[in-house]
A and B are shown apart, each in its own frame.
Chain A
Amino acid sequence: MNSSLPLLSLLVFTPWAGAAVLALLCGASATMSRVLALVFSLSTLALGLVVLRAFDPARTTPQFVEHHDWITALNVHYYLGLDGMSLLLVLLTGIVTPVALLASWRVDHCPRMFGALFLLLQGAALGVFLALDFFHWFLFWELSLVPAYFLIKLWGGPGATRAAYQFVVYTIGGSAFMLLGFAAIFAATGTLDFTQLAQLGADGTLAQKLTALGGWGPRAIFLGVLLGLAVKVPLFPFHTWLPPAYAEAPTGASMFLTGVMSKMGVYGFLRILWPLFPAQLHAATPCLLWLALGGVVLGAFAAMKQTDLKRMVAYSSINHLSYCLLALFAVSSATGRPGLSSEAATAALSGTLLQMFNHGLSAAALFFCIGILESRAGGRRGLDDFGGVRTAAPIFAGLCGIAMFSSLGLPGLNGFVGEFLIFRGVFGLDPSAAAVACLGLFATAFFLLTFWQRVFHGPSRQGGTTGEFRDVSGVELAALVPLVVLMFVFGVLPHLLTGLFNPLITSWAGHLVLP
């Protein structure tokens, strides 16, 4: 690929250009706005595939690098780069965003602004996945909140204002600590470049320099960064903003929040926290492992108790993302241990990346399915508001069932591979944690099948909607079918994904030493 074309900048800014176009086109009809938003959102997938063709998985350093001086006085660079992990998430964004826009086809309240905000959100997320300098990484990170806030507040349900407010304030609250932490890092090292900082982190120089600020320095700054990321993922117990935000958001926004934005936090853990603070993370893992297990087990059990279907899927997201963190913490915890099984470490890390991708597909699909249910039931989405939907809408039931079993980790579908690798890795590193996490697998099966039984099976409920329940429309099919097809594809051929990042993971696992 010709290096003169700034592919990564195009990836990030094309959606924003789309947002600007939509914002300017006052007179555009609703349909035209929707089509425009969809076309611009598809640019990510198209460019992502272009990048994929030229991408060399064997190289573990960033590729397609764009590195320019920006604010020389602060040693800030405009630095974009992409490795296997970023590529995976770019592709995920490229898949989820258009699908989420298709799922929002029926949004009648000002579709033009909806599309514009959505594209802003998409660009910000891509910026997070591609930026390698903290300065603009953090700008993207925070900017993503603005469109998300308006999407939830203006297009959300009755409790949306409060949920959006809590979401933004909580996340910004966490980020503030991260910003402080990076201010200290900048003061100590004079750079905000992730690759440079990672090198400093790996050989322990970073911790030394931070100690110059005071003996508490490395630990306090680690905690600040941790907090910012933990809220975003979220790590148990910093998750209470999530269920209301996901539940009150409009369907398309819920899909994007769970499909893409929740990955920003895990990405931050892998890109920033772990490389910069290997020793501090290692020291904190006894506690963090329990928190991740709390998310896995209590997240799943709390989902069992929900009667609002969107809250139920929201809790299942907490459960699924906690698997990612569990695997990372298990690897960090075992770092430096004699006889550490590198096979287990690679399995755990591969599982984490796969799980991020697969959860994006299945959770987005599930949120969409619940959105469909909601739209048919006049805004109701309680566990007991339905019954016998499978009789009335067999195609919808089939597609939703596949999404559900993917989320449940059924072999043959995408979710299984990632979870199996995570469990295989965590078992090799910390068997008791894997055994406890099994409870989460059980609870997930339990609440998902309960959902399925109440909503899709049995006779039509009193005041239920079976009578007039329409099966999926063409637009809904266009959104669901690609997701479902990919669930099968990546369930049977996981190497399509693992091939992108396997050398990267191998190199990570090859450098598992504490400074």
Chain B
Amino acid sequence: MKMTLSAQHLWLIPALPLLAAALGALTPRSGRTPAAGAAIGAMVLSFLLSCGALATALAHPAAHATANFTWFAVGDGAVRLGWLLDPLTAFMCVMVSFVSTLIFIFSLGYMKDDANFKQFFCFLSLFAAAMLGILVANSLLLLFVSWELVGLASYLLIGFWFHKPEAAAAAKKAFIVTRIGDLGFLLGILWLYDSTGSLLFYDNGAGVLEPTALGGLAAQTTLCGLALSTAIGLLIFCGAAGKSGQFPLHVWLPDAMEGPTPVSALIHAATMVAAGVFLIARVYPLMAADQLLAGVPVHALTVVAFIGAITALLGALIAVAQNDIKRVLAFSTVSQLGYMMLALGVGSWVAAVFHLLTHAFFKALLFLGAGSVIHAAHHEQDIRKLGGLSQPLRVTFATFAIGMMALAGVPFLFSGFWSKEAILHAAHEWEVSHLPLFAGLAAVVLTAFYMTRLVAETFFGKARSHAAEHVHENSAVMTVPLVLLAVCAIALGFLGTPAFPWLQARLLGETEVHGHSLLDGSGLMLGSIVLVALGLGAGWAVYWRTPRAKDTSPDPLASAAPATIAFLGARMKFDELYAATLGRLNTFLAAFADFLDHWVWGGAVNFLALLGEFSGTVNREADEGGLNAGFDATSEKLRQTGQAYSHAQTGGTHGYLRTVAIGFVVLVLLVMLGGGR
């Protein structure tokens, strides 16, 4: 029996984990098993449904099956949302739900001693649900809603150990930095909505990704001579850059590893950062709408390509000088995301999605492997203090090595090689410039180098701290996910080799697969293989051949070029730069607004009040001294009369208030009755 899932029922895929999150939120703290069970169960079901969706999508890969509905009416129009099923959605859903399931299972072991275990699974489910929501949305608005929920879930998870000030700060930073990108995204959405009257991607010809709307958008010119589609595309790209950690908004991503390691795995592989790349792939027709225009200042995709290239190189450079196992991986994510954006920019969105899929598996593998190391080594994350772990942690080491080779792009056997090769080929064929290609090639060397360093320092040599000496392999609940991911990190590459690019063909909506000979463009492939070898060799020569002796021994590279490595180690001082500029601006604006309130507006009001008081005083003096003297004599008489009545005045405020209230109500009633007649 072949299970299929149509677009009408696509909402079930995100709804199940969302339900699990809601259940988790309402379970008491002690309900650890039910919460985790619901989360994993829902994820498995989502995975099965995703497979069904994939089956449906592959049957008609060219179709964009949609199910649209009205959310609420505004005026004569309505805000409409919908679900979309095409190969892109389906492949992504399968990946996200599969990787998430494994990460959830891994978390059973990793988080078993945490007091907030139940809450962790609740947040994980929310995270996965929001990500799946992004994937199945047929509306930019629905996508944005899910997008912001991903931001919320990441905020909760990065700050999961909120008693640690660094974790709390990192969570806030992630939310704020991505929100800066999201404001651009929001403006793009508003502009698109205003120009086309719709936010549905596909709507029987009326959607924003369909030719009618795209033609209109590309034909209009707006600010600075940009085509309207370019301007909107670039604003949307702001959001993608924030979520996918692109330069210059990459600063939150490395800090995000303050969260528990399974969260890092989720953020860096399946959810969150993948969202930005997916978004651009989803709206690719819009991004590419200006491609045929001549005489425009810039094409949207050109900007994407260059930002991607810068990010790829920058991330790889910084990764070379990091000493925290998770931080190295975090910057490798930045770099790999740069590759994906580069691929999108140079016109090969299928290569980007291919790399997104392979990267999700091997990066999840690497992060969970790092988690396994950290868990075994009593939360020691500094690679200078680890070492010699290849013997005690056999499974972790073997799987981590596979992940490392996939990331480094070791030829033929590993998936990362094929997907990265596809990107480099696309960059090679790009007519605008070859700079992104060169940046990509440079990053290939660096990637191989820093990953060799990471493995050499962590797993070889001898243990350099007490924590690293007493390690034991983790339980099966943690190692089995590693093995499964390792298998995928190898196998997935064969879905998209140049000889049989099945995945690419299906993503493009083709049912036939046209392979090329492996020898086509073999020069470039050969070149990149040499570069990988160069990186591996250099890493071997510097770090592997003579392992570090003590945790305090100097780093060979740092000895050779101390200033450069220190600069890279300090992440090129981006945080300091932002603190000195944007941070100051922010503080200044706050102080300015407060100053205005206190001194200008408040001052004006107080001045008026003083003026009133002054004129009052003048009046009073004049009255007292002049007019009143004559009245005083008369008043004395009145006062005496008044004394006779004064026994009615008790002086009790309550009595007065009561009389006033009764009188008031009676009056009102009288007036009402009178009015009613």
Task: Please report A residues at the B interface, Cβ cutoff 8 Å.
Answer: 6, 9, 13, 16-17, 19-20, 23-24, 26, 68-70, 78, 113, 116, 166, 169-170, 237, 239-241, 243, 297-299, 301-302, 304-306, 341-347, 350, 388, 390-391, 394, 398, 405, 410-412, 416-417, 420-421, 423-424, 427-428, 431, 434-435, 438, 441-443, 445-446, 449-450, 452-453, 456-459, 493-495, 498-499, 502, 505-506, 509
Among B29, B74, B658, contact of A498 (Cβ-Cβ < 8 Å):
B74
Residues 236 to 287 of chain B near chain A (Cβ within 8 Å):
none
10 shortest interchain CB distances as A-B pairs:
A346-B75, A457-B168, A495-B72, A411-B145, A302-B593, A305-B594, A304-B590, A427-B190, A301-B593, A23-B661
Give the number of chain B interface residues (Cβ < 8 Å).
Answer: 67
In the complex, A441 Cα to B602 Cα: how many Å? Answer: 25
Which residues on the A side are within 8 Å of B168 (C-beta)?
Answer: 453, 457-458
Residues 321 to 349 of chain B near chain A (Cβ within 8 Å):
none
Q: Is the CB of B194 within 8 A of A446?
A: no
Q: Is the CB of B593 within 8 A of A424?
A: no
16 more contacts with CB within 8 A, not counting A23-B662, A237-B596, are A239-B601, A301-B590, A304-B593, A305-B591, A305-B593, A305-B594, A342-B76, A346-B74, A346-B77, A350-B75, A405-B152, A411-B144, A438-B186, A438-B187, A443-B589, A495-B71
Among B163, B187, B664, B671, contact of A434 (Cβ-Cβ < 8 Å):
B187
Which residues on the A side are within 8 Å of B190 (C-beta)?
Answer: 423-424, 427-428, 434
Which residues on the B side are within 8 Å of A449 (C-beta)?
Answer: 155, 172, 175-176
A342-B187 contact, Cβ under 8 Å, with A16-B668, A301-B589:
no
Q: Is the CB of B75 within 8 A of A502?
A: yes
A494-B172 contact, Cβ under 8 Å, with A70-B671, A410-B148:
no
Q: Is the CB of A343 within 8 A of B77?
A: yes
Closest residue of B by beta carbon distance from A446: B176
Among B145, B597, B664, B675, contact of A240 (Cβ-Cβ < 8 Å):
B597
Q: Is the CB of B665 within 8 A of A17?
A: yes
Among A298, A350, A412, A509, contact of B596 (Cβ-Cβ < 8 Å):
A298
A457-B187 contact, Cβ under 8 Å, with A304-B590, A412-B149:
no
For residue B169, CB closer than 8 A to chain A, the reply is yes
Which residues on the B side are within 8 Å of A435 (C-beta)?
Answer: 187
Q: Is the CB of B72 within 8 A of A498?
A: yes
Which residues on the B side are within 8 Å of A239 (C-beta)?
Answer: 601
A459-B194 contact, Cβ under 8 Å, with A17-B665, A23-B657, A347-B74:
no
Which residues on the B side are within 8 Å of A445 (C-beta)?
Answer: 175-176, 179
Q: Is the CB of B149 within 8 A of A411?
A: yes
Quick one: CB contact mask for B583-601 with A, threshold 8 Å, 1 for yes?
A: 0001001111110110011
In the complex, A70 Cα to B172 Cα: how many Å? Answer: 59
For residue B297, CB closer than 8 A to chain A, the reply is no
Q: Is the CB of A438 within 8 A of B183?
A: yes
Q: Is the CB of B662 within 8 A of A170?
A: no
For residue B626, CB closer than 8 A to chain A, the reply is no
Among A26, A443, A495, contact of B73 (Cβ-Cβ < 8 Å):
A495
CB distance from A421 to the nearest CB of B (A): 7
In the complex, A101 Cα to B189 Cα: how many Å? Answer: 41
In the complex, A445 Cα to B176 Cα: how many Å? Answer: 7
For residue B180, CB closer than 8 A to chain A, the reply is yes
Q: List 22 A-B contacts (CB under 8 A).
A: A6-B676, A19-B661, A20-B664, A241-B605, A297-B593, A302-B593, A302-B596, A305-B593, A306-B594, A342-B75, A343-B74, A346-B77, A391-B163, A438-B183, A443-B589, A445-B175, A453-B169, A458-B165, A493-B72, A495-B71, A498-B73, A502-B75
Q: Is the CB of A69 within 8 A of B675?
A: yes
Q: Is the CB of A459 within 8 A of B183?
A: no
Closest residue of B by beta carbon distance from A434: B190
Which residues on the A side are within 8 Å of B180 (C-beta)?
Answer: 442
Q: Is the CB of B75 within 8 A of A13?
A: no
Among B193, B602, B664, contact of A424 (Cβ-Cβ < 8 Å):
B193
Q: Is the CB of B163 within 8 A of A457?
A: yes
For residue B637, CB closer than 8 A to chain A, the reply is no
For residue B159, CB closer than 8 A to chain A, the reply is yes
Q: Is the CB of A457 within 8 A of B162?
A: yes
Q: Helix, strand, loop or mixed for chain A's interface?
A: helix
CB distance from B596 to the nearest CB of A (A): 6
In the complex, A298 Cα to B600 Cα: how many Å? Answer: 13
In the complex, A299 Cα to B589 Cα: how many Å? Answer: 11
A302-B74 contact, Cβ under 8 Å, with A78-B675, A113-B654, A445-B176:
no
Which residues on the B side are within 8 Å of A341 (C-beta)?
Answer: 194
Which residues on the A side are within 8 Å of B175 (C-beta)?
Answer: 445, 449
For residue B191, CB closer than 8 A to chain A, the reply is yes
CB distance from B512 to the nearest CB of A (A): 41
Which residues on the B side are within 8 Å of A342 (C-beta)?
Answer: 75-76
Which residues on the B side are within 8 Å of A16 (C-beta)?
Answer: 665, 668
CB distance from B65 to the nearest CB of A (A): 25
Q: Is the CB of A494 within 8 A of B77?
A: no
CB distance from B141 to the nearest CB of A (A): 8
Among B163, B191, B197, B591, contact of A427 (Cβ-Cβ < 8 Å):
B191
In the complex, A169 Cα to B571 Cα: how many Å? Answer: 56
CB distance from B350 to the nearest CB of A (A): 30
CB distance from B268 to the nearest CB of A (A): 22
Closest residue of A by beta carbon distance from B156: A401
Quick one: CB contact mask for B159-174 with A, threshold 8 Å, 1 for yes?
A: 1001111011101100
Q: Is the CB of A113 within 8 A of B657?
A: yes
For residue B580, CB closer than 8 A to chain A, the reply is no
CB distance from A284 to the nearest CB of B (A): 19
For residue B633, CB closer than 8 A to chain A, the reply is no
Q: Is the CB of A237 within 8 A of B601?
A: yes
Which residues on the A side are within 8 Å of B145 (C-beta)?
Answer: 411-412, 416
Which residues on the B side are within 8 Å of A443 (C-beta)?
Answer: 589-590
Most A Cβ at <10 Å: residue of B144, B183, B589:
B589
For residue B672, CB closer than 8 A to chain A, the reply is yes
CB distance from B378 to the nearest CB of A (A): 22
In the complex, A443 Cα to B658 Cα: how many Å? Answer: 47
In the complex, A23 Cα to B194 Cα: how many Å? Answer: 56
In the complex, A108 Cα to B615 Cα: how many Å? Answer: 41
CB distance from A371 to the nearest CB of B (A): 23
Residues 593 to 644 of chain B near chain A (Cβ within 8 Å):
593-594, 596-597, 600-602, 605, 609
